[in-house]
Amino acid sequence: MVGIRSFGAYIPMFRLPLGVVSGGSRKAAAAGGAGEKAVANFDEDAVTMAVAAGRDCLEGIDREKVDALVFASTTYPYKEKQGAAVVAKALDLRRDVRTADFGGSIRAGTTAFRFALDSVLAGTAENVLVVAADCRMAAPRSALERNFGDAAAALLVAREGVVAEVVDVHSHADEIIDVWRTDHDTFVRSWEERFVVQHGYRDNVVEAVQRILAKTKLGPKDFDRVVLYAPDARSHAGVARSLGFDSAAQVVDPLFGRVGNAGAAFAPLLLALALESALPGANILWVNYGDGADAFVLRVTDAIGGARGRRAVSWHLERRAELADYDKYLRFRHLQPSEFDPRGGVGVSATVHYRDRNEDISFHGHRCRRCGTLQFPFQRVCYTCYARDEFDEVRLSDLKGRVMSYTFDFFAGSPDPPLIVTTVETEGGCRIYLQMTDANPKEVRLDLPVEFTFRKIHEYGGTPNYFWKCTPVR
């Protein structure tokens, strides 16, 4: 049996009210209507969100057993340089993990999933982690901007311990100019909407669904859950109805007005949402679109109960904070000039990054073999017993911590001042000097319980530079 062994998700904490996108003034905000979209914090991007979803997915799973990691995104921060490699390093996967990026299309999430499936079917891998994340930008105040949201999802494809078996698959490719972004574009562009929906989305999805139904000899009524990508809420409802699905009973909420269209992460995110509450024996139809279409028939197994208890989508939907300040959002995305340019400066030395990557990216500390003292960053000589080079590397990202002390730094230069600076003590007594993120200064106090999250610390030198931050346990 081959299928999904585990799933995870990540939705950034900030939600931008759609009314704010439409105008900014109170009147225009009212005209924008209800609803919101998920937006990445200034220190988040597709990579950090992929790491968060991957950690959620690997909760309770031995990371040494992951043979390959595939990363799907149309917004990986580098044009040249692999995304999966940094995600794998942050997830602290094996050195000989196989990695690949899937991009170029919002179908990349399911394309990567098929690659994972084929690897496991072929027997060249036991466990393949698929992470999908997108942080797409549309022109400020455009219709697409209201539509897009930022999110990530992760699916672990395996042969053992499967919670949802892949029963059958259909894929086809299609060449169409509907939605695109060139190397020179900051924002996603689109052809005329009705053409895009009719000849891009609708034609391809209908074809894919019809083909997989024919292959599996199943009818629309045989599915307990239908997980359907759609560019927008209206197209979603229209296609679901025309294919004969009961929106209320079968179709998984596409989260428009809550998360928004999360690009390559969208279909995997909705599948994670479906799996959260799926019952053993349930049939799931999962359909994705983008330069063609992918359709999957999944059957939920008795093991599904074991995959519950992770954060997945619902936890993240609950954890929200409003970002009702459009100017701040524009600063987060570098769309508004400011005195503080986080992309200026000399940047991180590549050689320092090379030496420090186990600490900075995998977030390893040192545990002294002689006296047991846990310390960060790496030491050659132990703080406590002065032993030389007698350390084991310990992954700190899984540990919980508490705030030993803190300050609010208004002078450090941040798109969202003040910078909350802390020294955190982890379980086991390791002290780490960290910034806090996704937090309000009002909630910061001594001994506040925190956990760790992988973030972009700055972009000096024109490269995204990643490190870990702490965030209040919620």
Residues that bind other proteins (CB under 8 A): 345-349, 352-353, 356, 359-360, 373-377, 383-384, 404-414, 418-419, 421, 423, 429-433, 441, 446, 457-458, 460-461, 465-467
> What is the SS3 assignment for 409?
strand
Specify the residue, 88 or 457, whose C-beta has the smaller distance to other proteins: 457
Specify the residue, 317 or 421, whose C-beta has the smaller distance to other proteins: 421
CB of 73 to other proteins, least distance (A): 22
CB of 435 to other proteins, least distance (A): 8
Do 8 and 312 form a contact (C-beta atoms < 8 A)? yes
> What is the SS3 assignment for 67?
coil
CB of 349 to other proteins, least distance (A): 5
Instruction: List the one residue out of 222, 209, 221 whose CA is nearest residue 281.
Output: 222
Specify the residue, 34 or 411, whose C-beta has the smaller distance to other proteins: 411
CB of 377 to other proteins, least distance (A): 7
Cα→Cα distances 406→28, 110, 176, 224, 458, Å: 39, 43, 53, 50, 20
> What is the SS3 assignment for 63?
helix
> What is the SS3 assignment for 9?
strand
Instruction: List the one residue out of 430, 455, 397, 436 whose CA is nearest residue 91.
Output: 397
Do 43 and 92 form a contact (C-beta atoms < 8 A)? no
Specify the residue, 220 or 347, whose C-beta has the smaller distance to other proteins: 347
> What is the SS3 assignment for 432?
strand
Specify the residue, 104 or 413, whose C-beta has the smaller distance to other proteins: 413
CB of 52 to other proteins, least distance (A): 18
Identify the DSSP state of 253.
P
293's CB contacts (< 8 A; 6+ apart) are 107, 170, 171, 172, 174, 204, 205, 207, 208, 287
CA 92 – CA 363 distance, rounded (Å): 8
Specify the residue, 85 or 419, whose C-beta has the smaller distance to other proteins: 419
CB of 56 to other proteins, least distance (A): 24
CB of 457 to other proteins, least distance (A): 5
290's CB contacts (< 8 A; 6+ apart) are 105, 106, 107, 108, 229, 264
Specify the residue, 34 or 446, whose C-beta has the smaller distance to other proteins: 446
Specify the residue, 141 or 388, whose C-beta has the smaller distance to other proteins: 388
CB of 197 to other proteins, least distance (A): 44
The continuous run of DSSP H or E covering 403 comes out as: strand 401-409
Specify the residue, 244 or 344, whose C-beta has the smaller distance to other proteins: 344
CB of 31 to other proteins, least distance (A): 37
State the burial class of residue 388 (Cβ atoms within 10 Å of its Cβ: 0-12, 13-18, 19+).
exposed
